[in-house]
Amino acid sequence: MPELPDVETIRRGLIPRVAGRCFGEIILNWPGMVKWPSPEEFCQRLAGQCIEGVGRRGKYLILRLSGGEALLFHLRMSGALLLNHPEPERHIRAIFRFDDGSELFFSDPRKLGVMWLVDDENIIVGRLGPEPLEPGFTPEVLGELLKGRSAPIKAVLLDQGAIAGIGNMYGDEALFVARIYPLKRAKYLSKDEVGRLYSAIRQVLESGIAHGGATVRDFRNPDGEPGEAQIFFNVAHRKGKPCPVCGTPIGRISVRNRGTYFCSRCQGGR
């Protein structure tokens, strides 16, 4: 599933290509991906509106429209927003045709991606936690979020109501950089560990953006190109490979039913 750096990569790729464009025809090959309103009303209301801004909140991409509404996308496991059409027709679930003749394709082999057209974007994203790359996210804010939480720290990082945008891969990477065992209870992190984790979160997310997102399986940018962030991962999806710091084979455990990669020597847990 695309995480914050991946969706931010999509946002940045779309801005120069769709900002200011107006929607013409909307074709839904898979109406089930529209969660609000009805597919028919979705197409009717969207036609004629222009894109005034391209935003992101956590893992959600947001197109802010001239009529005051917002079009939100969540790509889920295999969704991609593409500005060209390099793949099988059967994977294209929606086509957005713009007034200049250009098109945006929503490809999704697994049919898990979803869209909403709403008057207020906060209806969908209002319950998300703070953005970890925004100035308002500080070590103190992170410390307050962790207070009293008995869940494993890895699980807290994946809780979108706690912190927006961090998923499985970047959560593993942040814990490795911070040298924290994934199963350690969040409330037991020391002040020093909180500070290290804060810095690590920002470091791995910024690195992910700088390298165009991570393509472990399905992620692609709007031009259909894969990201390169996975090349620089330390632990995520590297089970059995040597830790880049100490050489210990990377281990894999389950944390709240999510596969979690870590170094037993650098992060503890042996």
Mean pLDDT of 189-208: 98
What 8-state DSSP symbol labels residue 254? E
Annotated catalytic residue within 2, 152, 182, 222: 2
pLDDT, position 103? 94
Residue 193 covered by a domain: yes
What 8-state DSSP symbol labels residue 235? S
Residue 55 covered by a domain: yes
59 belongs to the catalytic site: yes
Closest CA to 183 of 207, 154, 210: 154
Question: Residue 263 contacts by C-beta under 8 Å, 6 or more apart in sequence?
Answer: 176, 234, 235, 243, 245, 246, 248, 250, 251
| pLDDT at position 198 over 70 | yes
Buried b (16+ CB within 10 A) or exposed e, 86-106: eeeeebbbbebbbeeeebbbb
pLDDT, position 86? 62
* Assessment of whether the complete model's pTM goes beyond 0.85: yes
Closest CA to 23 of 100, 115, 129: 100
Residues 89 and 148 both lie in one domain: no
Torsion of CA 47, 53, 59, 60, to 10 degrees: -30
Residues 193 and 232 both lie in one domain: yes
Q: How far apart are the first and last CA of the chain?
A: 30
Residues 106 and 147 both lie in one domain: no
Residues 26 and 98 both lie in one domain: yes
Residue 238 covered by a domain: yes
How far is Cα 183 from Cα 212, in angstroms, rounded to an integer? 29
| pLDDT at position 269 over 70 | no
Annotated catalytic residue within 56, 59, 154, 220: 59
- Other beta carbons within 10 angstroms of residue 123's beta carbon come to 13
Domain span including residue 58? 4-125
CB distance 204 to 173 below 8 Å: yes
Residue 130 covered by a domain: no
What 8-state DSSP symbol labels residue 19? T
Cross-strand bridge partners of residue 105: 82, 95
How far is Cα 134 from Cα 24, in angstroms, rounded to an integer? 35
Mean pLDDT of 103-108: 94
Mean pLDDT of the chain: 95
Backbone phi, then psi, for 253, in 5-degree steps? -130, 175
191 belongs to the catalytic site: no
CA dist 92 to 105, 163, 214, 256, Å?
Answer: 6, 32, 22, 33
How far is Cα 234 from Cα 208, in angstroms, rounded to an integer? 12
How far is Cα 180 from Cα 267, in angstroms, rounded to an integer? 5
Residue 131 covered by a domain: no
Residue with tokens 């082999």: 109
Residues 79 and 44 both lie in one domain: yes
Annotated catalytic residue within 17, 149, 258, 265: 258
| Residue 190 belongs to domain with CATH number | 1.10.8.50
| pLDDT at position 144 over 80 | yes
Q: Rg (Cα) of the chain, in Å, rounded? A: 20
CA angle 8, 10, 16 (to 5 degrees): 105
Q: Which pLDDT band, with edges at 50, 70 and 90, does 88 fall under?
A: low
How far is Cα 204 from Cα 149, in angstroms, rounded to an integer? 23
Helix (H, G, I), strand (E, B) or coil at 98: strand
Residues 106 and 149 both lie in one domain: no
Mean pLDDT of 226-255: 96
Q: Which pLDDT band, with edges at 50, 70 and 90, does 173 fall under?
A: very high
Residues 115 and 145 both lie in one domain: no
Closest CA to 183 of 260, 265, 266: 260
Annotated catalytic residue within 3, 8, 121, 173: 3
35 belongs to the catalytic site: no
| Residue 30 belongs to domain with CATH number | 3.20.190.10
258 belongs to the catalytic site: yes
